Amino acid sequence: MIKENTQHYILSVLANNCMPVLMKIKTAGFINFKKAYIFDMPVFFRMLEEELQLFQCEYETVYEDEKSIYVFIYNLEPLKAVLGQLYHHPILLNNGYNSQGTLDNYIRIFKSRYMDYSYHKSIFPHEIGIFLGYPIHDVEGYINNNGENYLLNGYWKVYDKPTDAIKTFHSYQCYRNKAIELVLSGEGLSEMLNFQ
């Protein structure tokens, strides 16, 4: 019973929050799993890893507190490509990311900065927008406007090219709706691999 409940919880969270990543149309996702629904940590992580392997995605636990586990789920090659294009960007360079750094180093630095933010309420690591594959103009817009004055608020706050963002949001929502439908009908998310 614990195993079934854990699997259902993982599938529900991934369906609601991570389908664009699993379907390779988004580089990464940052997911908050609630400990109240996790009854056995080793079982949870084993089942999460098995599910992500179906979609050839990887994950890294970023932060954990008494209530939640924050997990960074990503597509290796697309994430490397995004960071490779933006390795020289001031948002990364000014926050300790070495332009010659590896993906592992970038993730390690992000984890450190996120933990610092969580423990000490330091500055939020806005470079997460780059890791998540948001358009760089929207990441810059968010930082420059302190999260205000956006044109559109959907899967992220949009500061430029809202028409493009609306199309992307619609695509994300279609995958999300189909995945939720599968989970509610008792199917596995692997069925999404047949959905285009």
Q: Residue holding tokens 């990543």?
A: 21
| 3 state DSSP class of 196 | coil
Give tens-digit pLDDT for 130-179: 999 999 999 999 999 999 999 999 999 999 999 999 999 999 999 999 99
Q: Which residues contact 87 (CB under 8 A, 6 or more apart)?
A: 97, 99, 101
| pLDDT confidence band for 121 (50 / 70 / 90) | confident
Please name the amino acid found at residue 75: N
| pLDDT confidence band for 2 (50 / 70 / 90) | low
Structural domain boundaries of the chain? 2-188
- Residue 193 pLDDT greater than 80, yes or no: yes
| 3 state DSSP class of 101 | coil
When pLDDT is averaged across residues 87-113 and rounded to a whole number, the result is 91
Q: Check if the beta carbon of residue 91 is closer than 8 Å to that of residue 130.
A: yes
What is the reported pLDDT for 93? 93
Its pTM surpasses 0.95: no
DSSP bridge pairs for 159: none
Q: Check if the beta carbon of residue 189 is closer than 8 Å to that of residue 22.
A: yes
State phi, psi for 132 to the nearest 5 degrees.
-80, -5
